Structure 1
Amino acid sequence: MTEANANGTRANGNRPTGPRCIALVGPFQSGKTTLLEAILARTGAIQRQGSVDAGTSVGDNSKEARDHRMSVELSVATTSFMDENYTFIDCPGSIEFLHDMRAVLPAVDAAVVVCEADEKKIPQLQLVLRELEDLNIPRFVFLNKIDKADKRLRETLQMLQPASRVPLLLRQIPIWRNGIVTGFVDLALERAHVYKEYTASQVVELSGDDLERERTARFTMLETLADHDDELMEQLLEDIPPPRDKIFDDLAKELREGQVCPVLIGVATRTNGVLRLLKALRHEAPNVETTAQRLGVKANGNDAVGYVLKTINTAHGGKMSVTRVLAGSIGDGTVMNSQDRDAGRVSGVYKMMGQAFEKRGAASAGETVALGKLDNAKTGDTLASGRELPKRLTEVTAYPPVLAISIAAKERKDDVKLGQALNKLVEEDPSITIVHNPDTHEVILWGQGEMHLRVIAERLTDRFGIAIEKRQPQVGYRETIKKTIQQRGRHRKQSGGHGQFGDVVLDIKPLGRGEGFTFAETITGGVVPRNYIPSVEEGVLDGLKQGPLGFPVVDIAVTLIDGSYHTVDSSDQAFRTAGRIGIVEALPHCHPVLLEPIHLVEIVCPNDATAKINAILSGRRGQILGFDTREGWSGWDSVRAQLPESEIGDLIVEVRSATAGVGTFTFQFDHMAELTGRTADQIVASRRAAE
């Protein structure tokens, strides 16, 4: 291997060298895990290519991934190709697990976007490409399953182009024989290859119709490159064949600057096209120095700097922080700080191969490793070995949660264990939100969708051994009154010795919606001593916790206007009880009505699904406020509506079904609205039955 110079390039050229970190991303079930397996097999990291369907792949190695036959967390694997090290990170494609991808992307050198010629998956492809574009990550498209494509490649490219904000640059064209793809032509090298199953392709002579197609496609590629290179444009205009090195330099430059997105083709299940992909990564993908510069890494002297891609709690090794080393060297015993705390002392540096960890020596800049026992490090943290706390390199925010379940341990003895397990899961997956509802005493688990919550529940049982109960969270119904009334509340009890006596008269009135609760007093003549008045208010509040319909009472004004006391038997507790009796006896006569929470909801979706979304909202008692194009998103709409909280519960299931799995929404509380009729009666009856 030729010695690399101080700038991370080979002494005999300007090609980036050194360890690379590459993300494999793309729509759900596009073949990312299979491509990782093919790369590992082709580079000799594994002896035989496994299968996702058979459960023998390096990626998707967790029980949940195997059970559901889908990626539910990222998989990391390190290998070498032509004497250079590469770490590939296979990221889940489902929108429900995209947070893993979002946390990884800032620190990778490049991404391979795995997709297929499927028009239904274009919105998913757009989601992924948008994340890469916003972060300015160099990216290739690997058009997988080319053997199953039912369109010509030019038509496929035209179909995919709306998903990308920069030109999709075709780097290869397929060779067709009797309607079957048998190989490809490399447009940069002007070389034809015939696929060989599970081995390197064979170079063949380019002739006939293939030669004519190659010339046309190559000129189109060069024209696109020339849009950003005046010298190349002049050469094309003057019919001067550009030097091959010049073409490769332009390909690498425009990839790094995000001006084009090269498209390669292949079949991952048979490793077709994998070698060409690896060579493109080797020659054109930038290295860690470019990535560090993009992130603004500033290391002092020999200080090490790293970025935590993922946190994993292992059964035997404890906490592992999957880290990209961006500068310096991190070894066993290195003390690391994060941007706001002491992260801890590294206890072991590990190479990763799926879920297998192998201890190794210190990791240098560019390498991606797992660091053991950094107890205070979190996903997305910036780590540094110097005395000064580093600045955060990037901020990774999770998508807002869209679906919730209420969970509880079946055995009371597991309550503490459940809390600890949830904290570990949130540490691994920050897109989980845990809410403790003080009104209902529920633990609410919020996630990114139905499968996301299912996987979390399975992990609680399988990994932590906690049997849990799941149910729908209670809706925040309230009740209020519509009629004014005066009511006496008297509490008298004699049981030998000092008795209990409290007597109050309450004036009870409805308030405007959203005004809450007020308490006042107009006592004269000391009929209720001043020191007992706060106890009366406390008793009223006790009585308002559950009204006659079964829900907390709001928007009500209570005034203490009269009462009486006993010099011996009156006490704070007696007047608190009297206040509660007064309000409880009054409320059924105040014309109580049910209130339901109404939320402002904004749904984003591809515009061909907008009509379906409007129908879904209308069918859920929603009031549509309007819709507009989604700012900055070609082909997407944003629909705004007011929707009852009870209708938000499983809304995401319908939204995803109507939008090919990519629609999502945000919501926030707006107001309480009166609910009457059959729906209200059913809610009240259900509440009483539950009690």
Structure 2
Amino acid sequence: MVRNVVLVGHSGAGKTTLVEALLAETGAVQRVGRVEDGTTVSDFDEVEVRQQRSVNLALAPTTHNGIKINLLDTPGYADFVGDLRAGLRAADAALFVVSAAEGVDGLTRMLWDECALVGMPRAVVITKIDHQRANFDEVLASCQDAFGDGVAPLYLPVDGAGLLGLLSQRFFGYTSGSRTEREPSPDQLALIEQYRGDLIEGIIQESEDESLMDRYLSGEEIDTKVLIDDLEKAVARASFYPVLASGPGVGMREILEVVTQGFPSPLEHPLPQITTVDGKPVSGVTADPDGPLVAEVVKTTSDPYVGRISLVRVFSGTLRPDMTVHVSGHGLAERGHDDHDVDERTGALTSPLGKVQRTVGKCVAGDICAIAKLSRTETGDTLSDKDSPLLMTAWTMPDPLLPIAIRAHSKADEDKLSQALGRLVAEDPTLRLENNPETRQLVLWCMGEAHSDVLLDRLAKRHGVEVEKVDLRVPLRETFGGKAQGTGRNVKQTGGHGQFAICHIEVEPLPSGSGLEFVDKIVGGVVPRQFIPSVEKGVRAQMERGVVAGYPVVDIRVTLHDGKAHSVDSSDMAFQIAGQLALKDAAAKCATPLLEPVDEMSVLVSDEYVGAVMSDLSSRRGRVLGTEPVGTGRTLVRAEVPQLEITRYAIDLRSMSHGTGTFTRSFLRYEPLPSHLADKVAATAE
């Protein structure tokens, strides 16, 4: 019997502390946070140790009342939503953690929406009830307001030293270091009655027994066991969200009871869609240890000594050491993650806790384990039987929207950079690697500034590769501002055959998106027919190289109307060079404006930030096209904005909206770059 539980919440809400306290309560660790080797639960990643924050999905297994519990701790930063979604994929239920001192903010609401999007059953844990600024009632009310119907407390904290059970109507004390139980005092009983009615009504509303509400309203006392059974069913189908409380040494037993009794087992939680590798749906696969093997890599990390470590959730069948499995690709080739269709042999299976790796003999359906040295397997890949390979539909990954241009610090770093980046890409499906041929820059597309800092830290400390950030270049275009005549004269006499090619062209601008239109108006054979394509080839080559600032030329009509050739010295290459010279000559005789790429943007923010977002977009030379409401309290702002103005928009929007705003962008068209900016670009052109 297994329960896979992901902990979700804002950074600082106390998720890792709660994991450590649950491990201590179940005896998995000797004291809060300490594993066998003396490290803490969160010490498995060197970046987390240095930066003192969780930036990875972390597994912490334990056991309570004979049930194995896999606790999955997730980062609370928007930059690491990829690890959050991996945790949601691997888990069957969630503990949603909210601090009694900080309460609910915009990012907390976003995280709740992430859970709701996948229909994740969840319970709310209000932590830090002993904090001097803790206000349980206020935070409870804000949770009910933010998360909607079905949010109700099961327990109430009393002076940070005990809990009142609303269903059991008992007081659970923790002042002695262990849990004691007694009848509540008259004041405590009055407090129970204040909240108990709403809890019972909420449970009955979710009950499948339609007569229960009538019986309750008629004054009948509903048996507590009936209420608990209905509560557990409602929690399992994600329609009711019990609220618990925790503090130092308080509330762990109650949380474990909800996890083991109220949360669904892997058998009760629907499996993601499964297909054959060629896309044909497969039905009938369940969480059966004897069924066909279907497992998924939810997280990949690299250890300098062990190598690549894959955290795997087994959805069906049984995974064993030293077995050959088929690795099916994950469909993120556009981000630099190649699709896979290979066989690999598994190494030892382990159950990790901090840096401690406990060897296990097998991993059955519903459980989670780690596998070392799957060298060709990446996050999101499916592992299945080699004779009947299957593929799980990939979970949705957010688009990385912060571009960071980098270059190796030295020649030695350059030699190691490609391999190191390949390892980072294998670990992190939210990272996109771009080697831009136009700007000749290596660009890391990240989720945000914290994400980019972690990536560069890992490059330096884990892989020994130092890189430098450089200014990002946006791929501009050049065009012609009017008609111009150009002559290409390529006449060279050397020993033997020389070069002789002369061509006269006229260049004129075309509407945006037209590309190149090449017109042949040669008469009388002044340029032989076999060399006319050579002129066009030379013109196209020069267009790629640019004529002023080194950016490609677009949207022009080139008319070849005259020229000269030599019976011996003319050649294909000679006329290619003449075509290049003619285009450059024409460019020198007229204005050649620069064009900048413009993106279509959709920005989703809370209503309170709409004015600030619209004003900011306008200040970036953007055109706001309109707004529309999305759900309750949020608005979608549509705009067209030059790419030059939004290279750091992922950071700026997060600051502007206090971490709650999101946006998408897609290329729309090229438009003329304002002259004052074009002059700066031309002055710095390579």
TM-score clears 0.5? yes
Cα distance change, pair 386–563 in 1 and its aligned pair in 2 (3 A) = closer
User: 2: CA distance between counterparts of 1:382 and 1:232?
Assistant: 45
1:552 matched to 2:552? The reply is: yes
Could you say what the CA RMSD is over the residues aligned between the two structures, in angstroms? 2.3
Deviation at 1:330, TM superposition (A): 1.6
Cα distance change, pair 504–95 in 1 and its aligned pair in 2 (3 A) = same
1:11 is matched with none
Q: How does 1:226-375 map to 2 (within 5 A)?
A: 226-229=204-207, 230-267=210-247, 270-291=248-269, 298=285, 302-339=291-328, 341-375=341-375
1:15 is matched with none
User: 2: CA distance between counterparts of 1:120 and 1:194?
Assistant: 25
The 8 Å contact of residues 206 and 240 in structure 2, kept in 1 or not, is answered as no
1:419 matched to 2:405? The reply is: no
User: 1: CA distance between counterparts of 2:272 and 2:486?
Assistant: 71
Deviation at 1:472, TM superposition (A): 2.8
User: 2: CA distance between counterparts of 1:453 and 1:243?
Assistant: 55
Deviation at 1:80, TM superposition (A): 1.5
Deviation at 1:212, TM superposition (A): 0.4
Q: CA deviation digits over 1:246-292, x for unaligned, max 9?
A: 1211110000111111110112xx23222211121111111121125
The 8 Å contact of residues 59 and 90 in structure 1, kept in 2 or not, is answered as no
Deviation at 1:520, TM superposition (A): 2.2
Deviation at 1:131, TM superposition (A): 2.1
Q: CA deviation digits over 1:612-636, x for unaligned, max 9?
A: 1112112211111111112xx4221
2:143 is matched with 160
Give the letter aligned to residue 183 of structure 1. G
Deviation at 1:297, TM superposition (A): 6.2
The 8 Å contact of residues 501 and 574 in structure 1, kept in 2 or not, is answered as yes
Q: CA deviation digits over 1:578-597, x for unaligned, max 9?
A: 11111112102121112111
Q: CA deviation digits over 1:503-559, x for unaligned, max 9?
A: 100111111122122222111222112222222122222332222244322111111
1:62 is matched with 45
2:577 is matched with 577
Q: CA deviation digits over 1:328-380, x for unaligned, max 9?
A: 32211223234563442221111111243222211223321112333444323
User: 1: CA distance between counterparts of 2:632 and 2:126?
Assistant: 22
Deviates more, 1:278-287 or 1:363-372: 363-372
Give the letter aligned to residue 319 of structure 1. R
Q: CA deviation digits over 1:663-688, x for unaligned, max 9?
A: 1211111121112332332232233x
Q: 1:35 aligned to 18, 23, 40, which one?
A: 18
1:187 matched to 2:166? The reply is: yes
The 8 Å contact of residues 75 and 355 in structure 1, kept in 2 or not, is answered as no
Cα distance change, pair 122–538 in 1 and its aligned pair in 2 (3 A) = same
1:491 is matched with 490
Give the letter aligned to residue 105 of structure 1. L
2:33 is matched with 50
User: 2: CA distance between counterparts of 1:492 and 1:154?
Assistant: 89
Three-state SS of the structure 2 residue aligned to 1:258 is coil
TM-score by length of 2: 0.91
Give the letter aligned to residue 145 of structure 1. K
Deviates more, 1:247-256 or 1:383-392: 383-392
The 8 Å contact of residues 400 and 430 in structure 2, kept in 1 or not, is answered as yes
1:628 is matched with 628
1:216 matched to 2:216? The reply is: no
The 8 Å contact of residues 204 and 227 in structure 2, kept in 1 or not, is answered as no
1:471 matched to 2:460? The reply is: no
User: 1: CA distance between counterparts of 2:148 and 2:681?
Assistant: 49
Deviation at 1:415, TM superposition (A): 4.0
User: 2: CA distance between counterparts of 1:91 and 1:620?
Assistant: 35
Q: CA deviation digits over 1:381-416, x for unaligned, max 9?
A: 333337322242x43121111101112223345445
The 8 Å contact of residues 171 and 187 in structure 1, kept in 2 or not, is answered as yes
Cα distance change, pair 558–51 in 1 and its aligned pair in 2 (3 A) = farther
The 8 Å contact of residues 601 and 665 in structure 2, kept in 1 or not, is answered as yes
Give the letter aligned to residue 445 of structure 2. W
Deviation at 1:97, TM superposition (A): 0.3
The 8 Å contact of residues 285 and 292 in structure 2, kept in 1 or not, is answered as no
1:529 is matched with 528
User: 1: CA distance between counterparts of 2:352 and 2:528?
Assistant: 74
Q: How does 1:384-399 map to 2 (within 5 A)?
A: 384-385=384-385, 387-392=387-392, 394-399=393-398
Deviates more, 1:464-473 or 1:451-460: 464-473
User: 2: CA distance between counterparts of 1:56 and 1:681?
Assistant: 57
The 8 Å contact of residues 603 and 661 in structure 2, kept in 1 or not, is answered as yes
User: 1: CA distance between counterparts of 2:525 and 2:21?
Assistant: 88
Deviation at 1:306, TM superposition (A): 2.2
2:114 is matched with 131
The 8 Å contact of residues 343 and 386 in structure 2, kept in 1 or not, is answered as no
User: 1: CA distance between counterparts of 2:640 and 2:100?
Assistant: 38
Cα distance change, pair 356–516 in 1 and its aligned pair in 2 (3 A) = farther
Give the letter aligned to residue 483 of structure 1. G
Deviation at 1:124, TM superposition (A): 1.6
1:7 is matched with none
The 8 Å contact of residues 101 and 134 in structure 2, kept in 1 or not, is answered as no
User: 1: CA distance between counterparts of 2:215 and 2:489?
Assistant: 100
User: 2: CA distance between counterparts of 1:673 and 1:51?
Assistant: 59
1:543 is matched with 542
Three-state SS of the structure 2 residue aligned to 1:146 is coil
The 8 Å contact of residues 34 and 51 in structure 1, kept in 2 or not, is answered as no
Three-state SS of the structure 2 residue aligned to 1:456 is helix
1:201 is matched with 179
2:452 is matched with 453
User: 1: CA distance between counterparts of 2:486 and 2:635?
Assistant: 54
Q: 1:643 aligned to 627, 635, 641, which one?
A: 641
User: 1: CA distance between counterparts of 2:206 and 2:257?
Assistant: 24
1:105 is matched with 88
The 8 Å contact of residues 72 and 97 in structure 1, kept in 2 or not, is answered as yes
Cα distance change, pair 491–86 in 1 and its aligned pair in 2 (3 A) = same
Three-state SS of the structure 2 residue aligned to 1:311 is strand
Q: CA deviation digits over 1:55-97, x for unaligned, max 9?
A: 9631253221122221111111111122321111101111110
User: 2: CA distance between counterparts of 1:326 and 1:149?
Assistant: 44
The 8 Å contact of residues 405 and 470 in structure 1, kept in 2 or not, is answered as yes
User: 1: CA distance between counterparts of 2:249 and 2:639?
Assistant: 48
Cα distance change, pair 293–621 in 1 and its aligned pair in 2 (3 A) = closer
Cα distance change, pair 96–497 in 1 and its aligned pair in 2 (3 A) = same
Query: What residue ranges of structure 1 are gaps of 5+ in the alignment?
Result: 1-17
Three-state SS of the structure 2 residue aligned to 1:76 is strand
The 8 Å contact of residues 548 and 682 in structure 2, kept in 1 or not, is answered as no
The 8 Å contact of residues 120 and 660 in structure 1, kept in 2 or not, is answered as no
User: 2: CA distance between counterparts of 1:531 and 1:412?
Assistant: 46
User: 2: CA distance between counterparts of 1:304 and 1:553?
Assistant: 54
The 8 Å contact of residues 343 and 377 in structure 1, kept in 2 or not, is answered as no
User: 2: CA distance between counterparts of 1:627 and 1:148?
Assistant: 42
Identity of aligned residues (%): 34
Three-state SS of the structure 1 residue aligned to 2:196 is helix
Deviation at 1:150, TM superposition (A): 4.8
Give the letter aligned to residue 250 of structure 1. D
